[in-house]
Amino acid sequence: MRLKRNIGYFDGVSFIIGTIVGAGIFVSPTGVLKHCVLNVGVALVIWTASGLVSLMGSLCYAELGTALPLSGGEYSHIKRGLGGLPAFMFIWTSMLTKPASNAARALLFAEYATQPFYGRCPAPEVLKKCLALATLWSLGILNGRSVRMAAWVQSIFTVLKMVALSVIAGGGIMLLVAGRKEHLARFKDAFGSEVPNVSQIAEAFFQGLYAYGGWWSLNYMAEEMKNPSRNIPLTVMTAVPAVMVFYLLVNVSYLTVLTPKEIVSSVAVAVTWADRVIPSAAWIIPLSVAVSIFGALNSSMFTLGRLSYAGSQSGHLPVLISMLNVHSCTPAPAMIFSTIIASIFVIPSDLIMLTNYFGFSTWLMVGLTCASLIVLRYREPNLHRPYKVFLPVAFVMVAMSFFLVLASIIWAPNLQYVYAFLFMLGSIVVYLPFIHFKMHFAFVDKITCYLQLLLEVSPADACDDSKYE
């Protein structure tokens, strides 16, 4: 009983692009331009720099994914490099933030999917929550039953969202080629307006990096990749640069049609763009946003299930979660577990707002993961590494990660950050009795046995780490 290697190169590219490209690039790519004080040239440089940093991080992850092709992404690498407690702290925090993020995506999908039926009137909250729950459980069941089907759905929706981005990018290029003065005006003196100060550039950079979030998703499925030594680096080097190119072209297209002030003041930039360029088919953009969110939610649920599965295999979550369905060899209990948590966040959706203060934890874990790479280089020099990143890149990523963690707190201090830190430290209270001292209750075994029979699942064979040493 093991996870099957069903994910190929194209599937991996679809998962990375599908995770990175959500609603943001369609709805509100205004943060970078706003913090760049409407300086078009600086904004485009920030978009490029953010993409390059994301590429550097993904190359660090590619080394870890090829050396240790295990499920769980950062969790598995932090556990190997830094030990059990930091890894448990990661999964403790992720079990709150990642389901909340999925709940937010599901609610946003429901918002765009129901709005066409209500015109300018707001859709009922109950309807949106019911549709969000239905979407979560449909994708949860899909990912729990068939990896191939989940990968097929992801590929279809990634192609659709890239077609939508191509329409926007192509429209802008055609207008630029036409050479009308109003379309070229924003680019003739791109750096001529006010130059932002250091803090504004840092804020814009933070916004740009947020738009590229998701480049780390491939390592969650490394155990299911075909030929991971080849496909993981190749997938990363294809997907992240492709997103960079599309993000730049789409931003250029927006600037071709709209002024910087119009972009910053627009609630949904792509919709405003479509109203100007293709008014008769402007409905395509809201549909594209819904499709994009759905694809991003599918890939996010897939990776969250693998994180739960890996945590359970290491004894950091109940043993049932690491079991596989006897018919499909999929981590069905892990998918059910993560979907239930996401559903809890949907019902009182105010809870999602609380998790916004955990944004710093994402970059904290990226820093710890890259630090694990450095530790493993020196502690396990003989570990087989089919791909090796230039080591200074890992040092740069560690430094940048901790800078972003501190910057997000220092520039916008808030008491909620203290609560978030206390929650993360609270993992120690659980770790010591239940993980370190292995406290166990007999009734848990009876529940596990009953659910194992009900769900038709069996313990997975332990992954042999010796071949990676």
> For residue 256, with 0-12 CB atoms within 10 Å meaning exposed, 13-18 middle and 19 or more buried, which class applies?
buried
pLDDT score for 28? 65
Quick one: tokens of 29? 């790519």
pLDDT score for 464? 53
pLDDT score for 196? 85
pLDDT score for 469? 43
pLDDT in tens, 233-279: 999 999 999 999 999 999 999 988 888 888 888 877 888 888 888 88
Contact 20, 243 (CB under 8 A): yes
pLDDT score for 466? 43
Residue type, 150: A
pLDDT class of 171 with cuts at 50, 70, 90: confident
Which letter does DSSP use for residue 411 in this model?
S
Contact 20, 208 (CB under 8 A): no
For 431-453, give one letter per residue: b (16+ CB within 10 A) or e.
Answer: beeebeeeeeeeeeeeebeeebe
Taking CA 418 as the corner, what is the angle to CA 416 and CA 423, rounded to the nearest 5 degrees? 95
Go through the domains of the chain in sequence order and give each one's CATH number: 9-468 (1.20.1740.10)
Taking CA 190 as the corner, what is the angle to CA 184 and CA 192, rounded to the nearest 5 degrees? 125
Quick one: tokens of 84? 């059990």
Supply φ then ψ for residue 225, to 5 degrees.
-80, 135
pLDDT score for 354? 67
Residue 342 has pLDDT above 80, yes or no: yes
pLDDT in tens, 75-107: 999 999 999 999 999 999 999 889 988 998 999
**Weakest mean pLDDT among 111-120, 124-133, 323-332:** 111-120
Residue type, 373: L
Residue type, 298: N
The end-to-end CA distance of the chain, in Å, is 23
Choice between 272 and 461, residue whose per-residue pLDDT is larger: 272
pLDDT in tens, 410-438: 777 777 788 888 899 999 999 999 998 88
Choice between 460 and 14, residue whose per-residue pLDDT is larger: 14
pTM of the model: 0.90
Q: What does the pLDDT average to over 113-121?
A: 80
CB atoms inside a 10 Å sphere around CB 305:
28
pLDDT in tens, 363-400: 899 999 999 999 999 999 999 999 999 999 999 999 99
pLDDT score for 465? 47
